Amino acid sequence: MDEHLPRLPRSDARDNRERILTAARDVFATDGLAVPMRVVARRAEVGPATLYRHFPTKEQLITEAFTGQMRVCADIVAAGLADPDPWRGFRVAIEHLCEMHVRDRGFTAAFMSAFPDSVDFVAARADSMSAMADLLRRAKETGRMRADVVFDDIVLILMANSGIRAATEAAAVAASRRFATLAIQGLRALPADAA
């Protein structure tokens, strides 16, 4: 009878898995995705064999490490869509996305990467991008956004924001907020008399 019950991972295996994911998020957030797997293993205080037993490829580790951030990203865009003022919803979404991305360099790189073997991650990214495109369209329809803004402009904003570097996280967040404000001002439609 026991042979038909699913086997649950041992508590030490679950602990190792969580330590690996925590270490991966930490090193990817500060150093980007190019960090070697051995650095993640060392930070997690596990051997390379333990790391590869849980995550046979770096792609699997990256996608698992950033699943939570992908949900947060989707929630930010959903909150923007739920705002009765589409222009305000768009502005707030951009501000929050920029802050989220500057706090975690690894997530920005993961979000912009193509992971053909990670169907769920790719689908979640596609859903977020589709929702963001809808938010952009709605914000343009208010007339408060320049008519020539395209979705690629939003991608450029996020990519440029990910280049912000500072001595502390607080300084990076402050710089990101300033950058987001300037970027949003660049997207704003000019009054007819100022054009």
Closest CA relative to residue 113, chosen from 149, 66, 172: 66
Closest CA relative to residue 98, chosen from 182, 162, 165, 31: 162
Percent of the chain with pLDDT over 90: 55
Percent of the chain with pLDDT over 70: 88
Instruction: Choose the weakest-confidence range: 83-92, 122-131, 159-168.
Output: 122-131
Query: In the chain, count of helices (H) and strands (E)?
Result: 10, 0
CATH topology of domain 67-190: Tetracycline Repressor; domain 2 (1.10.357)
Reported as a single tens digit per residue, the pLDDT across 26-52 is: 898 888 888 999 999 999 999 999 999
Reported as a single tens digit per residue, the pLDDT across 85-112 is: 999 999 999 999 999 988 887 777 777 6
Residue 194: its pLDDT value, please?
A: 42
Does 9-64 carry CATH code 1.10.10.60? yes
Domain ranges of the chain: 9-64, 67-190
